[in-house]
Amino acid sequence: MNNFGGQTPTIVVLKEGTDASQGKGQIISNINACIAIQDTLRPTLGPLGSDILIVGNRGETTISNDGATILKLLDVVHPAAKVLVDISRAQDAEVGDGTTSVTLLAGELLKESKAFVEENVSTHTIIKGYRAAARLAVDKIRNELAVKIEKSDPNQFRELLERCASTAMSSKLIHNNSDFFTKMVVDTVLTLDQDDLNEKLIGIKKVPGGAIEDTMFVDGVAFKKTFAYAGFEQQPKKFTNPKVLCLNVELELKAEKDNAEVRVEQVSEYQAVVDAEWQIIYNKLEAIEASGANVVLSKLPIGDLATQYFADRNIFCAGRVSSDDMNRVVSAVGGSIQSTCSDILPEHLGTCDNFEEKQIGAERYNFFTGCPKAKTCTLVLRGGSDQFIAEVERSLHDAIMIVKRSVKNNTIVAGGGACEMEISKYLREHSKTIPGKQQLIIAAFARALEVIPRQLCDNAGFDGTDLLNKLRMRHAKGDKWAGIDFDTAGISDNYARFVWEPALVKINALQSATEAACLILSVDETVKNEESAAPQTGPPMPQGAPQRALQGRMPR
């Protein structure tokens, strides 16, 4: 017998005040937090989904129905709920669309698993069943459902891209103008280098004012007029077939007085120092003039002396050009960025058909069009307010990403809940061939997939129960593309109606949602140090109202 009378002493390992919650209650708590995230995004799904207005601490407002944008702006404090935020943002980065769908799907998988957890089914059994169901679903899409569109016929392939872009925009703010923007989005993606499709070479400029259909597609580069010194207005603002020189050189008189000491005995010696400084910049300017350039751009400042020098010689210049704009100019006109003014060769200069400075709204923009090597383009967005233009930008980003994925992976499925209902039917039938608990879990996965068509109906004001029953009947009869028809408030063949989405969107959403659900189910203990944790503001979450756990404010 030991000194403690046969009892094991209490050993304090964690700091006082540390909260260590574990067991079934902790798993259910995590599931409830994720369902609160799901409930926040539910109303935004689909063509008739509503927008959410988020007001930040400083009064800045954002209006959006993009799942990734909403979750990024919400100050989600629950650690498990942050997993859904991460998968939504990952879906946005990887595919560009389906950010709301993936969050709803993950939340519904967790909601279905909640009953099993309460009945003391091991979470590892649930995870095993979910992963098996996800594998079956992805294989079903890849091997049977996905329809491949051949790239050999350019007209047919362009039609595919336009259909996918139109479907992506159907749930956005610009759906009423989708015919106008669809062609613009496809032209934008086809302008890029088809090998890497770098979306960073798509410039998006926002100019408040005007109508939404005043939005311009520039097959080249456009950027806002940079800061200009005296003499700028004397420069020519229009060239045909100009030679464009791009620099990373400062063309400004420097005040050489930092950490420098010059001792002179005569005034002439001081004048020699001043003249040397002027001579340095004149040598640079003369070298630029000798290169034959008509348009000079620099990432660094171009001072008043250089501006007047170029104006006297009918040369246009712009300093402090941003790196993104400069890289796009080089991609469009050719040439290369020079870090010195000496030894500028003809191959270092780019060219285009036309350069012009134009007025757009209250701003002036520099346009480079007719570029022979153009692998870049610019969209100049117009609209009545900053919030409206910002949402148009997010909508176009989703559509551009969808078209980009369609170019790389030219397989499609029908949207409007058709794909989810077909997979649900397949998994429900497959579950009947499996004995034991896995049958129930795979059937639960099949039920969870129905959240997409059900929520589409609810947001549109349709009778969700009636339409889901009709959908199940149509799919049971073999009509695999039957989905929600928002025009007739009924059921139709969405493949024939050209409601198309890239198969990659569905595959990525299924895989991400399943992994997120399995990750949250695998956690049965949370250790939280209250002293180091960020303080939570607001009242505690009331019972039965999990959605209030979210605080609608932007991070500082």
- The CATH number given to whatever domain includes residue 178 is 3.30.260.10
Contact yes or no for 113/24 (Cβ under 8 A): no
Please check the confidence at residue 352 and state whether its pLDDT lies above 60.
yes
Q: What is the pLDDT of residue 261?
A: 72
Residues 230 and 289 in one domain: yes
Domain assignment present for 4: no
Residues 260 and 296 in one domain: yes
Alpha carbon 396 to chain centroid, angstroms: 10
- Residue 38's CATH number: 1.10.560.10
Cα 405 to Cα 161, 206, 505, 508, distances in angstroms: 10, 25, 9, 12
Full residue range of the structural domain in which residue 60 is found: 18-148+414-528
Contact yes or no for 341/249 (Cβ under 8 A): yes
Q: What is the pLDDT of residue 533?
A: 47
Residues 438 and 370 in one domain: no
Please check the confidence at residue 427 and state whether its pLDDT lies above 80.
yes
Q: For residue range 369-420, list pLDDT tens digits in order.
A: 988 777 888 999 998 888 888 888 888 888 888 888 888 888 889 988 999 9
Instruction: Tell me what the mean pLDDT of segment 498-511 comes to.
Output: 89
Domain assignment present for 217: no
Q: How far apart are CA 126 and CA 113, in angstroms?
A: 7
Q: What tokens were used for 141?
A: 């899409």
Residues 116 and 30 in one domain: yes
Residues 499 and 513 in one domain: yes
Contact yes or no for 133/515 (Cβ under 8 A): no
- Residue 325's CATH number: 3.50.7.10
Instruction: Tell me what the mean pLDDT of segment 79-85 comes to.
Output: 87
Q: Which helix (H) or strand (E) holds 297?
A: strand 295-298
Task: For residue 545, name the pLDDT band (cuts at 50, 70, 90).
Answer: very low
Q: How many domains does the chain have?
A: 3
| Pure H helices in 148-293 | 154-169, 178-191, 267-290
Task: For residue 517, name the pLDDT band (cuts at 50, 70, 90).
Answer: very high
Extract the runs of DSSP E, i.e. beta strands, from 384-495.
411-414, 482-485, 490-493
357, 377, 397 - which closes a domain: 377
Residues 366 and 395 in one domain: no
Give, as one character, the DSSP assignment of residue 345.
-
Residues 405 and 390 in one domain: yes
Residues 234 and 369 in one domain: yes
Q: What is the pLDDT of residue 538?
A: 45
Q: How far apart are CA 185 and CA 174, in angstroms?
A: 12
Q: For residue range 208-264, list pLDDT tens digits in order.
A: 888 888 899 988 899 998 888 878 888 888 989 999 999 998 888 765 555 567 777
Please check the confidence at residue 182 and state whether its pLDDT lies above 70.
yes
